[in-house]
Chain A
């Protein structure tokens, strides 16, 4: 039985041949040594396997074998390791050493040393009264279902039908009437504790909304809250938190424009945080129409005596809309297209409330958008006399005149050349004057 082992040993001896070890082992010697070698190898490997059990993933590594050799009082002079496996030869080629990198001392001195990561302990709920919350720390629901299925296959009786007549019961219970078995997929969507705490703080910040004198505090608190460190821990719950916060805002106030301004402020604060922004992507279908509506809608909530056109809100919404489209326009071209349709319609509709918002959006999009979307429309609008200022806005601080708004947009984006701008401005002034007369 040991013949093949002795052959293997002979081959091994040939591979490690040196002046101290004969190149070829005698068959009798190899036969005797094979048993001994096998015993020692099994001994070391069984001990190494026990060391491997100490590691979290039970994987046998070279370090485990080294530990086993050390326990057997065999020094590991040279051999593979889990940390370093590069060797080079020195001398006449029969001496090996670890191939360390040669580093320039000046580079080393000037380099920014890598700071070791701080050990920490993370705590989360794996199950709440037996049900696993669908949080980022836990495995996905799909993996959980797979695991549940594995169990069902594992523990069911041998004569169990692979495709049983299983019916979906209440609360996710799977019932197999034939075998009288019932399995419940233990899952529930529970927001992580960190997110819950964050939501409470957001709600606390929104509490003074009812007091008009403290509205400035709210507007200042939200960006501050969203700019805190470690907000990445709540990123998974951002859509829910935003939705809850908006509901709180709307619940507290409904009589003026401030709720919308607070909502805009919240969205802007969330958007400004690079950790909180990505989760909003899944909610773009909800966010984008709201923003477009805020920009181009004719009626933007109850009128504010100070801001009859809601310019601040429109400005903020336009800013966000532009940022959203900049961020995801390339990824979702249809989204950008549909948003611009509304903007274009608002521009073509003439100088009503939405027109100003559309102007702001176009201005936010920059030179190329103004040149592509606004400038070609202007002669047509001017020729057809559509650019009549809304009487309501006359004297308004927010939108004094269409001319001034347009000029602001054009100047901001440095549209065309100075002559074109001057020409357009002149024509605008003439049109306005004529209309006013």
Chain B
């Protein structure tokens, strides 16, 4: 049995290592106690040699030795006789504490759900080890937002200076019975149930603790869906304040209060292939077919010379196919037709230039898109795959396959856990980034009749919008993968689309201008708020889903307005203050 546990532990540690950094920081807290407990299992099975090898190899590999040298020596010298000796006061205090008490780990709800999902697919014996080793406390915030010193976690649940038989009543109720190293499958309860039990009791214990009482919510048995409470990775404070200032001064836009639209038109930039605009509305970036990116910084004084507020980023050797600006305006990603993805310092006027170059394939990368919270970005390429990258790593994190043709667009969902792609095979697909294997495919959204070219998620994550070459825009329920409406209006391929900050409006641009669509009704039809995790598609959900009040083929009520333009448009973006910006180029003059 212990060898099974060892194998499962190795598998689990690999899974943690390969998980995204959002989850990894919290998951890695589990490895050290599980490592110790696995070692103790080996010793209790009298596999001393294997235990020592495991202790040395895995401990060194993962740098688990946060223990003092004396403690390490005591663990290494541990024998079966010491472990099974009775009474307890004859045992080593250190070993006794590791056997009898749980290791406290603080964990956010999304990560805990992910852990549950993973453990449910693992061996029962390992789940038992997790149950008996770790006590998880749920928090609203993720631990990445707390300083390690503030947490005070990562220690055994109870400190016992002296151990005697009487004191056993004070230990955790779930551990009152004599501990049995061999797990009993009959007594196995699901991880969620066990955790619920533990957490409820811990909540009672810590009622008088000051701050985290409200955060102690009993875990749900089934997957619950919620919007992300806070960004998992915080932006710099100055950027946050700037965003808040814009948001506070924003007018509420809706179907009854349409937004103001500002059009940016780039002149004399030659053949253009891509464009993007910052959420602050102060940066406009145009990528050309020759590989040059022109950036306009509108923060410069208006009476400044025309060349003072413009600079170019040179590096690509072929057509710039896509541009994506991070939410804090600091980093620009660009992709080209030869498969290169480049990262630039764009927002700062002091230091501009390329900071990284990634090359995943030798074919055109049609799309590059930042994660809503930074750090990760996803690319969609001609070879039919989408790739998830960490900007701190040279190698890609994950590949998402399934499309039968080019991946024209790929984004990371608002929750940060889902990658949504639009493909030339007239489908859009959703992938779970947390699974990290080939089984991560969630839904295929397929009623398009032409190549899907763009996909966007609403800020609250409820609905997805996909657009195709025919100009059709389709709105999807993110939770169920159900088509909610087809928006018919554009007569040419949709170039870009974006949701307003509140998610009540959708803006689409094409050659024939800007169109605004009302999303209020559709958001209410989407059954659940933004998801942190997705179950597999369940047909019964469709039966219980609320009926749509209109045919999904055509929903004229949703069309609000159209604004034809003299020049074709390439990009649209709602700023943080909900002003809509449409970006285009003047095509009347050629080089």
Query: Which residues of A are in contact with B by a Cβ distance under 8 Å?
Result: 46-47, 50-51, 53-58, 63, 67, 71, 116-130, 132, 137-139, 143-144, 147-148, 151, 154-157, 186
Contact = CB atoms under 8 A, between A and B. Distances in A.
28 contacts: A47-B382, A50-B366, A54-B273, A54-B274, A54-B289, A56-B570, A57-B587, A58-B568, A67-B337, A71-B363, A116-B268, A118-B307, A119-B268, A121-B298, A122-B264, A122-B265, A122-B267, A123-B298, A124-B263, A125-B260, A129-B257, A130-B258, A130-B259, A137-B263, A147-B512, A151-B562, A154-B488, A155-B554
A171 to B, nearest CB: 14
Contacts of A63: 271, 289
A57 B319 contact: no
Contact of A139 (B495, B566, B569): B566
Contact of B267 (A47, A57, A116, A121): A121
Contacts of A144: 564
A58 B556 contact: no
Contacts of B563: 126-127, 132, 186
Given A130-B561, A147-B513, A137 B267 contact: no
Interface in B245-268: 257-268
A227 to B, nearest CB: 18
A183 B107 CA distance: 53
Contacts of B337: 51, 67, 71
A137 B493 contact: no
B358 interface: no
Given A123-B264, A130-B561, A50 B513 contact: no
Contacts of B567: 56
A154 B489 contact: yes
B312 to A, nearest CB: 9
A119 B267 contact: yes
Interface of B: 257-269, 271-274, 284, 289, 294, 296, 298, 306-307, 309-310, 318-319, 321, 337, 363-364, 366, 382, 406, 408, 424, 451, 453, 469, 488-489, 492-493, 495, 511-514, 554, 556, 559, 561-570, 580, 582, 584-587, 589
B294 A119 contact: yes
B262 A56 contact: no
A39 to B, nearest CB: 14
Given A125-B262, A154-B488, A119 B269 contact: yes
Given A54-B273, A118-B307, A129 B264 contact: no
A109 B567 CA distance: 38
Contact of A58 (B364, B424, B493): B493
Contacts of A117: 267-268, 589
Given A58-B493, A155-B559, A51 B263 contact: no
Nearest to A52: B493
B262 A123 contact: yes
A55 B263 contact: no
A125 B261 contact: yes
What is the predominant secondary structure among interface residues of chain A facing chain B?
mixed
Contact of A125 (B263, B366, B488, B493): B263
B424 A129 contact: no
A118 B308 CA distance: 12
B591 to A, nearest CB: 8
A126 B261 CA distance: 5
A42 to B, nearest CB: 12
A196 B122 CA distance: 70
A209 to B, nearest CB: 27
A127 B488 contact: no
Per CB-CB distance, the 3 closest pairs between chain A and chain B, nearest first, are A130-B258, A155-B556, A56-B568
Contacts of B554: 155
Contacts of A55: 271-273, 289
B514 A121 contact: no
B310 A119 contact: yes
A54 B488 contact: no
A155 B565 CA distance: 20
A132 B514 CA distance: 11
A194 to B, nearest CB: 10
Contacts of A130: 257-260, 561
B369 to A, nearest CB: 16
B585 A56 contact: yes
Given A53-B493, A121-B266, A139-B566, A126 B271 contact: no
B274 A147 contact: no
B321 A137 contact: no
Contacts of B569: 56
B310 A121 contact: yes
A225 B345 CA distance: 41
Contacts of A120: 266-268, 306, 310
Contacts of A147: 512-513, 562, 564
B424 A50 contact: yes
A155 B309 CA distance: 43
**Which one of A63, A71, A127 has the greatest number of beta carbons of chain B within 10 Å?**
A127
B493 A126 contact: no
A381 B469 CA distance: 82
Given A71-B382, A155-B556, A127 B261 contact: yes
Contacts of A143: 564
B493 A118 contact: no
A320 to B, nearest CB: 32
Given A50-B424, A56-B568, A57-B511, A118 B306 contact: yes
A231 to B, nearest CB: 15
Contacts of B264: 121-123
